[in-house]
Amino acid sequence: MQRILAGYVTAMCLLLMAPIVIVVILAFSGAGYLQFPPTALSLRWFARFLGDDQWRAALWYSLVIGAIACTIATTIGFFAAYALVRRPIAAKKLLLSLLLLPVIVPTVITAIAMYFLSARLGLVGNVLWIGCCHAVVALPVVLLILLATLQGVDVNLERAALSLGSSRLRLFLRVVVPLAAPGIISAALFAFLASFDELIISLFLTGIRAQTLPVRIWNSLHMQIEPTIAAVSAVLIGITGLVLLLDASLRRWRAARTGAGT
């Protein structure tokens, strides 16, 4: 029975990975059109991607907006998680439900609401504003990670610091943040990914001034289908995989440090 289950899980994983592998292979195609399997291999489409000003601008906007969303979501999520874990809040479940609402509400509904607000304020295409809107959908992910992290921080260490005369600011900087640092970094990485891969909200808010990489890919699919799109998608997959690898390495380091401490 265990062998059947293991075989089933392996087959499902391979099935889910197949489209990603196909896209990566197509990115190295030497033909002038999408063909699988490719008849020749080449890096020409990566060179075209890196040599095109519009594609480079889209990559830059994605990185900047992701950094903004990551910073805002991680900062707000950390203080929100700390308050929910450490403070006796009367409507804690209701507040948590409101903070997790972006996960429950369909993204297209959130995007439409953000678009009408952005259009009224004249902020469509504003990079800082787009980063703030991305932070809204990244916040629930950050909050869930930091809730689990802060619950593992011994409250007695904070009480000891306060009893020795530490201020609240010093307590945060010297006790809470160092102990929760692995979880904070992990939350920041996932917040960056949530923004970097976001398409629907970006479609409504970027306009023509600040197209992100997913939006640029979407628009290119409507105009022309060429292997450059596969190369860009491969870069997108590579960045996502790199961030996940960093998070996995961080988790292993945290587990090793915890094991050594015990």
How does pLDDT run across 130-188, given as a tens digit for each residue? Answer: 999 999 989 998 988 888 888 877 777 777 877 777 777 787 777 788 888 888 888 88
Q: Is the pTM here over 0.75, yes or no?
A: yes
What is the arithmetic mean of pLDDT over 39-45?
Answer: 73
What is the arithmetic mean of pLDDT over 35-61?
Answer: 78
Q: What band does 255 get if pLDDT is binned at 50, 70 and 90? A: low
SS (H, E, C) 92-135: HHHHHHHHCHHHHCCHHHHHHHHHHHHHHHCCCCCHHHHHHHHH
Domain spanning 43-261, CATH architecture: Orthogonal Bundle (1.10)
Q: Which residue has the higher pLDDT, 220 or 256?
A: 220
pLDDT tens column, 65-107: 999 999 999 999 888 888 888 877 777 778 878 888 888 888 8
